[in-house]
Structure 1
Amino acid sequence: MTSPSPPPRRLGLTGSIGAGKSTVAGLLRARGLTVLDADAEAREVTRDPAVLAEIEAAFPGVVQGGELDRAALAAAAFGDPARLAVLNAITHPRVRARMLAHEQAAAGRGEAWVVQDVPLLFEGGLDRVMDAVLVVDAPLDVRVGRVMARSGLSEEEVRARDAQQLPAGEKRRRAAFVLDNGGSLDALEAQVDAALTALGIQLPTASNQQEKSPSKS
């Protein structure tokens, strides 16, 4: 009887709004690592009609034509801890189940590490189940400018969202490695490679990468 494959180790990836976490996730995927995107999994979860029904019951009016109005849900839930807790109770267990299923698939492929890309990793206490955490950071003014350019939000709105997260300085303090994304892409890539080397993460060979389908979720 074949023994089950050991679970892969978890490399947490997080950062404050506008820091460039998605850029780092792309660099890690390009190096052959499986990156599990908590936001992408949450979007998949909220396509389930049963989940939409629960959300609509808790937040009337946020489901229109069988689809979630994410802006309306954000307005109804974010900024109110009690309301946000209701939303999290609906979605988080399902997201965790999907992430676990992806981890098990990675274990079956013999992968030693997976990356968990989680925006609110520290806020949700998930750092406790990570083997190491990478924090992506950049100066606040740089982060605010990036978010304004891509989202159309005002400076005040971006700064308000940033203020709702754990302070960047505290994230840096808790990180195994901090990736400074205030400079060039080349500089960021060098930091990513240095962190992987320091952690002893061996990147998949070309043949191993061909055997698995890259994960975008």
Structure 2
Amino acid sequence: MSSPPSSSPQRLGLTGSIGAGKSTVAALLRARGLTVLDADEAAREVTRDPAVLAEIGAAFPGAVQGGVLDRAALAEVAFTDPARLAVLNAITHPRVRQRMLTLEQAAAARGEAWVVQDVPLLFEGGLEAQMDAVLVVDAPLDVRVARVVARSGLTEEDVLARDSRQMPAAEKRRRATFVLDNSGDREGLERQVDAALAGLGIHSPQQEKSPSTR
């Protein structure tokens, strides 16, 4: 049953530790007709704003070169110092939240009952309370590390350091409405996604058009 077009959609949070496969699940949800609001993409849009770049450049000298954000340089400074990260978050987070809200309102205007909020640091950012349900994607640490090393060129030590700065995967699993175990094949993951959506009573447009399709 769909919510009235004038109401706000319910929010399905999507998160997971580094290398767990959150982007894969986001793609599966999109393929099922759900609107996925990507916090990382919203942050990229925000940091293309000249006013935001000016603030970041003033707070982090050398992080903006020729009007373009040097993400690697910024990460090297901000993500190794909690105090500096707090400064960056104070600049970007309010704008990212506003961008996500604007996209959510557009989904509401289309009459969508649910939207997915894809937020890597959902729990760490204290956004859990704003979600109606949360999907956590997980896989064993060695699998996650191997995936990130293979795709990014980071060393195992780099990946482990980044993972250590996130909430432990076990705690994310404890807080989840549904846990998606992405240690197996894609077909198994798809079955888990469909089961989670069914458990939440979420019916994609494709399912509504083709109820006999499984």
TM-score class, shorter-chain normalisation, is over 0.9
**For residue 184 of structure 2, what is the aligned residue in structure 1?**
183
Quickly say closer, same or farther: Cα 1:4–1:109, change in 2 above 3 A: closer
SS, match of residue 116 in structure 2? strand
**Cα distance, 1:90 vs structure 2:** 0.4
- Using the size of structure 2 for normalisation, the TM-score is 0.94
Inter-partner Cα distance in structure 2 for 1:88 and 1:22: 22
Structure 2, unmatched stretches of 5+, are 210-214
Per-residue CA deviations over 1:171-191 (Å, capped at 9, x if unaligned) read 000000000000000000000
Aligned-residue offset at 1:31: 0.1
Q: How does 1:115-194 map to 2 (within 5 A)?
A: 115-194=116-195
8 Å contact kept, 2:36–2:117: yes
Residue 211 of structure 1 is matched in structure 2 by none
* Residues 127-172 of structure 1, C-alpha deviations (whole Å, 9 max, x = no match): 1100000000000000000000011011011000000000000000
Query: How many Å separate the matches in 2 of 1:104 and 1:41?
Result: 15
Measure how far apart 1:80 and its partner are. Answer: 1.0
Q: Deviations over 1:47-91 (max 9, x none)?
A: 001000000000001101110000000011012111101000000
Residue 96 of structure 1 and its aligned partner are, at CA, apart by 0.4
* Residue identity matched to 2:78: A
Task: Please state whether the residue corresponding to 1:18 is helix, strand or coil.
Answer: coil
CA–CA separation in structure 2 for the residues paired with 1:40 and 1:206 = 27
Instruction: Name the structure 2 match of 1:32.
Output: 33
Residues 84-99 of structure 1: pairs in structure 2 closer than 5 A: 84-99=85-100
Take 1:132 and 1:186, find their aligned partners in 2: how far apart are those partners? Answer: 23
Distance (Å, rounded) in 1 between the aligned partners of 2:142 and 2:96: 32
Structure 1 alignment gaps of length 5 or more: 209-217
* Structure 1 runs, 4 residues or longer, greater than 3 Å off: 205-208
- What is the CA distance between 1:201 and its match in structure 2? 0.5
In structure 1, distance between residues paired with 2:190 and 2:171: 23
Q: Match of 1:42, as an amino acid?
A: A
1:200 positional shift = 0.3
Q: Structure 1: how far apart are the matches of 2:114 and 2:80?
A: 35
Aligned length: 206
CA positional deviation for 1:205 = 4.4
Encode CA deviations 1:7-59: one digit per residue, 9 max, x unaligned.
00000000000000000000000000000000000000000010000000000
When normalised by structure 1's length, the TM-score is 0.93
Aligned to 1:53: 54
Query: Which residue does the alignment assign to 2:24?
Result: 23
Contact 2:5 2:110 (8 Å CA) reproduced: no
Judged with a 3 Å threshold, the aligned counterparts in structure 2 of structure 1 residues 193 and 206 are, in CA distance, closer, same or farther, namely: closer
Q: Give 3-state SS (helix, strand or coil) of 2:205's partner.
A: coil
Over the matched positions of the two proteins, sequence identity in percent amounts to 79
CA deviations 1:90-131 (Å, max 9, x no partner) are 000000001000110000000000000000000000011000
Please tell me the residue identity of whatever aligns with 1:130: M
Amino acid of the structure 1 residue aligned with 2:30: R
Shift of 1:204: 1.6
